[in-house]
Amino acid sequence: MGSETPIHILLVSYPAQGHINPLLRLAKCLAAKGSSVIFITTEKAGKDMKAVNNITDKSATPIGEGSLTFEFFDDGLKDDDLIKIGFDGFSKQLELVGKQFLSQMIKNHVESNEPISCIINNPFFPWVCDVAYEHNIPSALLWIQSTAVFTAYYNYFHKLVRFPSDSEPYIDVQLNSSLVLKHNEIPDFLHPLSKYQFLGELILGQFKNLSKAFCVLVDSYEELEHDFIDYSSKNSILMRSIGPLFKNPIIKDANNIRGDFVKSDDCNIIEWLNTKPKDSVVYISFGTLVYLPQEQVNEIAYGLLDSKVSFLWVIKPPPKEMGLKEHVLPNGFLEETNERGKVVKWSPQEEVLAHPSLACFITHCGWNSSMEALSLGVPMLTFPAWGDQVTNAKFLVDVFGVGIRLGYGLMENKLITRDEVKRCLLEATTGEKAEELKKNAGKWKKAAEDVVAVGGSSDRNLDEFIEDIKKCGI
């Protein structure tokens, strides 16, 4: 492979952490396998990434046999424009300026005799496939949620099964021949009672454009979601499972190239974990977008106090534009838990989840967090808020056998009390149930290691994807 002229691949990411992380991991994998990869997102996201991660734009960094370059485009918005134009306006603006930027970039590459061979996007940017199509360049989608969730959107879009509607909001959904989702277990952007249906529309935009992408890549793996991957293939979608991307050993040396927007305020997290016994610490994080009501934060804090477990808790400040107040912890909480607890604004999550001191993870069940914990063998207490998180929680608990259900999603509007928090924490950390969760989690960890090793299903799928691009011959 080394002496071949590298193919040039563009990856275009929506500027959210949960979108950038998996696409950047894919970018590194493709580079490590010999491609010249260009990772594109907005300048605002790029500014945060550069401030925290010491990355530069416009210059190629060698990774394995290939290279990775960052390019950022100006979204043309001032800081407070977002409040005025809302999410819908923001999406339209990104499409307008993003299309121009991408077209120009493609032309520049043609002029410099380095034509683009493939363009890959992630959901919320369906227009990227249109640009690729106009320029006659093959495009692919990196689906960054589970394959089961992909199946739910696919079935909804093509009206293949009945979903909750205004007249029947509480019906179950038969997702495939063996799995039924209750109305509150479907991705809730598809629910008629959800406040976030506009996000569902945006994701469905990707399904309108699906025929323009020659391949759908998923950050999941065969052993975990075989039936759903198979189902998509039967529907004539070329689906390739290539996850867990973050665990692929070929990008081990590129660990320092990260897309974090935030730096931890505490550099001693891993050192602190090193002082804790094996399987003793509960890690708590609700991802980058979910903000729990203050009342719920109080209950979690009291649950931690009462259960006496050690914990690492990420409490992030809300972004300015959300107009929310910072969470406060109960009086005396930090003093009382000084020895056994740590509260931070951001954590190096991959490293934390890989640490032997971890006992379990209270998670909002974002797919990246779920995939990271699953493939590092960490049991979970599921506390979803919205979207695919509620579906992921169902799978983590009832299908993969690695979780205990703690929360039910914000749509349910149910306060989880300190007693429930304590009960679930103790169940997940001591006794028979804890053993069972740990055993199942270990099984998924082993499977994850196997699929990304040389010759494993995800590694092979990635190679075949690159071969597909080469066969297209651009």
Q: How far is the CB of 473 from ligand UDP (least distance, A)?
A: 35
User: What's the CA gap between 288 and 266, in Å, rounded?
Assistant: 17
- Of the listed pieces 301-309, 318-326, 346-354, 445-453, which binds ligand UDP according to CB under 6 A? 346-354
Of the candidates 19, 109, 135, 364, the residue annotated as catalytic is: 19
Q: Which of 187, 259, 287, 407 binds ligand UDP (CB under 6 A)?
A: 287
Amino acid at residue number 80 = D
Residues in contact with ligand UDP, shown as a per-residue x/- string from 14 to 53 under the rule CB under 6 A = ---xx--x--------------------------------
CB atoms within 10 A of CB 227: 15
116 vs 292 by CB, closer to ligand UDP: 292
Residue 122 in contact with ligand UDP, rule: CB under 6 A: no
- What b/e string do you get for 292-322 counting C-beta neighbours within 10 Å, with b at 16 or more? beeebbbbbbbbbbebebbbbbbbbeeeeee
The torsion angles phi and psi of 368, rounded to 5 degrees, stand at -65, -45
Residue nearest to ligand UDP (CB): 18
Residue 222 in contact with ligand UDP, rule: CB under 6 A: no
The string of DSSP letters for 30-67 reads HHHTT-EEEEEEEHHHHHHHHHHH---SSSPEEETTEE
User: What's the CA gap between 101 and 12, in Å, rounded?
Assistant: 11
Residue 349 in contact with ligand UDP, rule: CB under 6 A: yes
Q: How far is the CB of 159 from ligand UDP (least distance, A)?
A: 28
In degrees, rounded to 5, the angle at the alpha carbon of residue 382 between the alpha carbons of residues 27 and 45 is 35
Q: Which of 153, 346, 383, 386 binds ligand UDP (CB under 6 A)?
A: 346
155 vs 369 by CB, closer to ligand UDP: 369
19 is catalytic: yes
User: What's the CA gap between 378 and 402, in Å, rounded?
Assistant: 8
Residues 299-338 that bind ligand UDP (CB under 6 A): 314
190 vs 380 by CB, closer to ligand UDP: 380
Residue 392 in contact with ligand UDP, rule: CB under 6 A: no
Instruction: Say if CB 122 and CB 144 are below 8 A apart.
Output: yes
Residues labelled as active-site residues: 19
**What residues line the site for ligand UDP (CB under 6 A)?**
17-18, 21, 285, 287-289, 314, 346-347, 349-350, 366-369, 372
